[in-house]
Amino acid sequence: MRRRPFLSTSVLDTSTGSTGPSAAGRHLRDGAFGNARNLVCRECGATQELGPFYACQECFGPLEIAYDYPSITRAEIEAGPKNIWRYQALLPVPTDIASSPNMEPGFTRLLKADNLGRALGMKNLWVKDDSGNPTHSFKDRVVAVALSAARELGMTVFACPSTGNLANAVAAAGARAGMKTVVFIPADLERAKVLTSAVYTDSLVAVNGNYDDVNRLASEIAGEEEGWAFVNVNVRPYYAEGSKTLAYEVAEQLGWRLPQQVVVPVASGAQLTKIDKGFTELARLGLVEETPYKVYGAQATGCSPVSAAFKSGHDVVRPVRPDTIAKSLAIGNPADGPYVLDVTRRTGGAVEDVTDEEVRDGIQLLARTEGIFAETAGGVTIATLKKLVETGQLDPDAETVVFNTGDGLKTLDAIADRVGPAATIDPSYAAFTATGLA
Ligand SMILES: *Cc1c(COP(=O)(O)O)cnc(C)c1O
Ligand SMILES: [Zn+2]
């Protein structure tokens, strides 16, 4: 069990503590990972060469990417492509990444949400809407970085265990890159997410079990099959870095500054911790002023192991068996759970959870105030925002960014018995006036 807090400084160390050329490093092409320097253990700080590794050789702790940070200007970033590759210098990808076949995710809209803000009694609210990505969730970001790593590491099969959106993103990106792609999902996944994955691949495998079962199976296959890149398992350190682009984009779209509060959905917790890493990097690089921000995590009560740990003051996350309509967040044993606790506590934020009814309310509230149709994960986040305001945990006057990470068209069942026609009428004016809608 982990005890040590996450020391972000070890990751952000800009000195050149090179580990030198290595066996695995020899057949990597020069610049395969851009400015990434090595892998570093998030528990003990031990470093390791860049390669298909995800667990520390010393302590089995999770690895993440450390960089030789470049000096880079706002203007250089602004001159880049209108997708995540404008931040290439801060990602573990080669400088020519934008020109290889990829989905070109990112640079999604950041909308001022004054109607929603009014409804919640908030003064300065924004929605970062990642439903606008190529396969309609934030997963296109992480998958794009994982795909680059898989290619550079010479891996031949692109794979993942998924709660749904990742399956969409991996299947689509694999198709576009011409990679063999195998995708594993829980058999009880929403029909829309099954179809929107299967359309891209003949190798979709439905597993009788929940996500945590599927994840265990993937780890086993990764151990047996040479050259299989499971994006969120054995190339996870690269994959996770893709989420930093959410932080970069929000800061850039706000005019190069950090928001005061962010509310982020939590499944494995990778996205939340990397948004924090992204903000920290921008301040460290002088691209934004170093202003304080609070990070809040959002979970569904039916799968809220991190929220439970936060509320009870524990730093160990006890696994749960998920039971919620927010299937894209239904990870009962979240890999980054302890780090979510570190980030939310360190920044003065919180982790909250909401019931499935509140999730449905959240979907409807966002749709009716801002015209944005979120999937259940977005419903979780909006409902959590509301709860945080109502319970006084979040400052309604501070500038706040809330993340909608997926598209409601993928989870129609969530609202199917709540919304529909106000009336069904014959095509006559009299019938219409009888509805009272005139
Ligand atoms: C995967 C996912 C998340 C959270 O991802 P983690 O990084 O695992 O916490 C949030 N929203 C949606 C829609 C997702 O698909
Ligand atoms: Zn270690």
Residue nearest to atom 12 of ligand 1 (CA): 405
Q: Which pLDDT score is estimated for 29?
A: 87
Structure tokens at 38: 């090595």
Residue 257 lies in a domain: yes
Question: Does residue 38 sit in helix, strand or coil?
Answer: strand
The order of strands in the sheet holding 180-186 is 204-207, 180-186, 157-161, 228-230
Residue 267 lies in a domain: yes
Picking from 203, 230, 73, the residue whose alpha carbon sits closest to that of residue 142 is 230
Q: What's the CA gap between 362 and 390, in Å, rounded?
A: 14
Could you tell me if the CB of 337 is within 6 A of ligand 1?
Answer: no
Q: What's the CA gap between 160 and 215, in Å, rounded?
A: 8
For 236-249, write each residue's pLDDT tens digit.
Answer: 999 999 999 999 99
Q: Where are the alpha helices (DSSP H) in 290-336?
A: 305-312
Phi, psi of 182, rounded to the nearest 5 degrees: -130, 125
For 96-124, write each residue's pLDDT tens digit.
Answer: 999 999 999 999 999 999 999 999 999 99
Residue 62 lies in a domain: no
* Predicted confidence (pLDDT) at residue 309 exceeds the cutoff of 70: yes
Percent of the chain with pLDDT over 90: 90
* Predicted confidence (pLDDT) at residue 12 exceeds the cutoff of 80: no
Q: Which pLDDT score is estimated for 190?
A: 83
Residue nearest to atom 4 of ligand 1 (CA): 267
Q: Which of 129, 328, 331, 404 to mutate to test the pocket of ligand 1 (most atoms within 8 A of CB)?
A: 328
**pLDDT interval class at 11 (50, 70, 90):** very low
For 316-335, write each residue's pLDDT tens digit.
Answer: 999 999 999 999 999 999 99
Q: Which of 135, 137, 245 to mutate to test the pocket of ligand 1 (most atoms within 8 A of CB)?
A: 137
Residue 325 lies in a domain: yes
- Spell out the residues 6+ positions from residue 335 whose beta carbon is closer than 8 angstroms to its own: 62, 236, 268, 269, 270
| Cα torsion angle, 398, 295, 165, 78, sign | positive
Could you tell me if the CB of 328 is within 6 A of ligand 1?
Answer: yes
Please give the C-alpha separations between residue 186 and each of 161, 181, 189, 301, 417, in angstroms, as whole numbers. 8, 17, 6, 20, 24
Mean pLDDT over 81-96 rounds to 97
Binning the chain into helix, strand and coil, the percentages to the nearest 5 are: 40, 15, 45
**pLDDT interval class at 212 (50, 70, 90):** confident
Please give the C-alpha separations between residue 180 and each of 97, 134, 199, 388, 420, in angstroms, as whole numbers. 20, 20, 15, 44, 41
Q: Which of 197, 271, 336 to mutate to test the pocket of ligand 1 (most atoms within 8 A of CB)?
A: 271
Q: Which pLDDT score is estimated for 19?
A: 36
Question: Does residue 86 sit in helix, strand or coil?
Answer: helix
Whether residue 277 contacts residue 295, with contact meaning beta carbons closer than 8 Å, is answered with: no
Burial letters for 64-84: b for 16+ Cβ neighbours within 10 Å, e otherwise? bbbbebeebeeeebeeeeebb
To the nearest 10°, report the CA torsion of 28, 29, 33, 38. 40
Q: Which pLDDT score is estimated for 189?
A: 87
Total residues found in the chain within this entry: 438
Phi, psi of 361, rounded to the nearest 5 degrees: -60, -40
Q: Which pLDDT score is estimated for 13?
A: 40
* Placement of tokens 């994982």 in the chain: 146
Percent of the chain with pLDDT over 70: 94
Mean pLDDT over 150-176 rounds to 95
**What count of other Cβ atoms lies within 10 Å of the Cβ of residue 14?**
14
- Spell out the residues 6+ positions from residue 233 whose beta carbon is closer than 8 angstroms to its own: 54, 160, 161, 215, 218, 219, 222
Residue 278 lies in a domain: yes
Structure tokens at 362: 């959240």
Mean pLDDT over 163-173 rounds to 95
Atom of ligand 1 nearest to the CA of 142: 7
* Number of domains composing the chain: 1
Q: Which pLDDT score is estimated for 353?
A: 98
For 17-49, write each residue's pLDDT tens digit.
Answer: 333 333 344 478 889 999 999 999 999 999 999
Q: Where are the beta strands (DSSP E) in 178-321?
A: 180-186, 204-207, 228-230, 261-265, 294-300
Q: Which pLDDT score is estimated for 67?
A: 98
Residue nearest to atom 11 of ligand 1 (CA): 405
- Spell out the residues 6+ positions from residue 75 whose beta carbon is closer than 8 angstroms to its own: none
Q: In which domain, by residue range, is 281 found?
A: 110-135+241-414
Q: Which pLDDT score is estimated for 23?
A: 38
* Predicted confidence (pLDDT) at residue 5 exceeds the cutoff of 60: no
Q: Mean pLDDT score of the chain, rounded to an integer? A: 93
For 369-423, write each residue's pLDDT tens digit.
Answer: 999 999 999 999 999 999 999 999 999 999 999 999 999 999 999 999 999 999 9
Mean pLDDT over 53-58 rounds to 94
Residue 400 lies in a domain: yes
Residue 37 lies in a domain: no
Ligand 1 centroid–CA 25 distance in Å is 31
Phi, psi of 67, rounded to the nearest 5 degrees: -125, 155
* Predicted confidence (pLDDT) at residue 6 exceeds the cutoff of 60: no
Mean pLDDT over 244-271 rounds to 98
Q: What's the CA gap between 218 and 228, in Å, rounded?
A: 10
Looking at this protein, which amino acid is placed at residue 105?
A: P
CATH of the domain at 336: 3.40.50.1100
Structure tokens at 28: 């990597």
Ligand 1 centroid–CA 30 distance in Å is 32
Please give the C-alpha separations between residue 289 and each of 9, 50, 90, 91, 293, in angstroms, as whole numbers. 18, 31, 18, 21, 12
User: Rg of the Cα trace of the chain?
Assistant: 21
Ligand nearest to the CA of 39: 2
Could you tell me if the CB of 137 is within 6 A of ligand 1?
Answer: yes
